[in-house]
Each structure stands twice: as C-alpha cells, then as structure tokens.
C-alpha cells in the first residue's frame, strides 16, 4: 500500500481492531451502537474504515468493549494542519462531501434556520451564541464555510431541494429584529426558486410524523440514499434499511402534513412585512412575526 494510503490504512486497521473486540464481547453492530450512542450504520462504516471515528466514539467503545485503552491508542489521528484549514467539524466533513454533489437534498428542521438558508448575519449570530464560545477567528471561518456550502442552491445541474420548517424557526429572533427581517426576505427569495420547495408545518396540527427531531436526507450523484442526523451528543449517518426507508417515509408524511409551498411563501412574505412595520409598545419582534404567521 502506498504511503499516500496511510490515513485509510490506519482507519481500516482501527476498524479491524474494533470488530475484534466487538466479536470478543459477543455484541452485534446494532448492540454496540446502542450502548455507545451511535447507529448500527455508523459502527459498520467505522469497522469498514469508511469513516474515521470521533473521539467520543473511541472513548465509549473502549469502555464498553473493555479494550483497556487499545482502541484509544489505535484510533486514527487527523493531521493538525488539516484541522486548522478546515472550519467544518471532522464529523461533518463526510456529509458535506456528499452534499456538495448530491442530486437531491431534503431537510426537516424544528428549532433554527437550516444552514443552507441562513444569511451571513444570521449565521454569525448562530455561531456567536454557541457554547462553549468560539473565538472571533473561528466564528468568521465557520460563517465563510457555511456560505460556501450554499453554492449548492445555484449549482449546475440544479439539485432537487426541499425543507419542512417549524413556525418557531421563523419567529425566534436570532440576532435581533434587523437580522431576522433580512433573513425572512432572503428565505422568501430562496422559496421562489423553481428547484427549491419550502414548507411550513401547520402549528395547529394535532398529529405530526417527525416528533423525534430534525434530520437531513440525501440522494447522491449516483442516486444512493442516505440520511444524516445531528444532536447534542454527536451525529451519525443512516445508510441501512429499514431505518433509512423509515426516514424517507417519515419525510413524505411530514411534507403532506405541512402547508403547501405556495401558502408557505405567502406566510413568509406576510411575516417579513409584519416584522418591518413598527410594533406597538411591549410587542416583541417574535410576537409580531408569530401574530402574522397565525393570521
């Protein structure tokens, strides 16, 4: 194997060692994943050397499998220079690579504007709010990387893109009134693109297919399907059935439960107009936007 293959070789060697300890412990990939907080798909990818493990993954696996530090020592270490050049987290880079050339991308979000839809000011407010706190250089690098990813919206050939958003995403005033006003106008502009469909979830619905939280679905340039889920404790890919099919089905039901793209655009425009107008004493930007959303 050539020296240039060393990072892949290290990942494969770690995967073989992980599999050895897992089999020795009498655990399946699914069982190990549940014990360390990752999906079966991610355990399988790490064992194949297809994805480098995160520090959290390595620590938990070493403890659960009683490897006595062997997995920690064997874990592949990314070059520090690469980490400084790339503002994207290591666990997000594989997804960003697939996203860049994806044929289709679909997302359900329930608490913040999706990165692909954020204005520069809104993205900066998001990263400024982060805990633990980023320093100024980190914030600017991450904002630039987020804006760079948005080239997907205008890439040729045009990808098929859709979003289902909860109403709170549009009414929570991240960054303040001026930032949110510009964000709503930008959202309306993106919603008018022929290859992008944005839908708001009806806040008065009594049933909801996606109560488990946000997720992203991709169809790669080779038409392979995969899903990406991110939470407080980390992130993981879903690449195997039936979980993958369930997520695609869930997204289909969620879209059917949401407002149509046409009605959504009307709502967004009305909320932006309401946010532009002077508010009465004691009325916050979020209150004004929420009032417009339910009108």
- Which stretches of the chain drop beneath a pLDDT of 70? 1-9, 78-92, 233-234, 276-295
214 with 109: CB under 8 angstroms? yes
pLDDT score of 10: 82
- pLDDT for 82 equals 40
- 110 in Cβ contact with 166 (< 8 Å): yes
Q: Looking at residue 98, what is its pLDDT?
A: 84
Cβ burial of 120 (10 Å; 0-12, 13-18, 19+) is middle
Alpha-helical runs (H) found in the chain: 6-24, 29-36, 40-48, 55-64, 70-74, 80-85, 93-100, 120-128, 136-149, 168-171, 177-191, 243-257, 261-276, 285-294
pLDDT at 163: 98
The answer to whether 165 and 198 have CB atoms below 8 angstroms apart is yes
**Dist CA 208 CA 266 (whole Å):** 22
Identify the pLDDT of residue 78. 61
Strand partners, 234: 231
Check if the beta carbon of residue 117 is closer than 8 Å to that of residue 234.
no
Cα 267 from Cα 275, distance rounded (Å)? 12
- What's the confidence (pLDDT) of residue 121? 94
64: exposed, middle or buried (Cβ count in 10 Å: 0-12, 13-18, 19+): middle
């Amino acid at each position: 194997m050539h020296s240039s293959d060393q990072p892949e070789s290290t990942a494969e060697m770690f995967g073989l060692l992980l599999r050895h300890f897992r089999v020795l412990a009498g655990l399946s990939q699914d069982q190990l994943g549940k014990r360390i907080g990752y999906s079966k798909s991610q355990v399988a990818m790490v064992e194949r050397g297809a994805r480098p493990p995160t520090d959290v993954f390595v620590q938990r696996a070493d403890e659960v499998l009683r490897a006595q530090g062997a997995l920690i020592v064997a874990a592949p270490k990314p070059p520090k220079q690469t980490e400084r050049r790339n503002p994207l987290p290591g666990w997000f880079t594989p997804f960003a690579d697939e996203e860049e050339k994806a044929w289709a991308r679909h997302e359900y979000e329930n608490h913040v504007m999706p990165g692909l839809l954020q204005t520069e000011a809104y993205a900066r407010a998001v990263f400024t709010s982060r805990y633990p706190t980023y320093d100024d250089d980190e914030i600017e690098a991450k904002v630039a990387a987020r804006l760079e990813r948005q080239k997907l919206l205008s890439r040729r050939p045009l990808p098929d893109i859709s979003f289902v958003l909860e109403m709170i995403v549009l009414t929570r005033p991240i960054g303040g009134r001026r930032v949110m006003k510009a964000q709503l106008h930008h959202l309306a502009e993106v919603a008018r693109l022929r290859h992008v469909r944005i839908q708001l979830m009806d806040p008065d619905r009594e049933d909801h297919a996606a109560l488990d939280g946000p997720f992203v679905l991709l169809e790669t340039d080779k038409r392979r399907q995969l899903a990406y889920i991110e939470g407080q404790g980390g992130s993981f890919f879903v690449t195997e059935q039936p979980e993958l099919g369930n997520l695609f089905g869930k997204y289909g039901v969620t879209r059917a439960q949401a407002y149509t793209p046409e009605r959504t655009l009307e709502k967004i425009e009305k909320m932006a107009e309401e946010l532009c107008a002077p508010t009465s004493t004691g009325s916050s930007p979020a209150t004004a936007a929420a009032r417009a959303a339910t009108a």
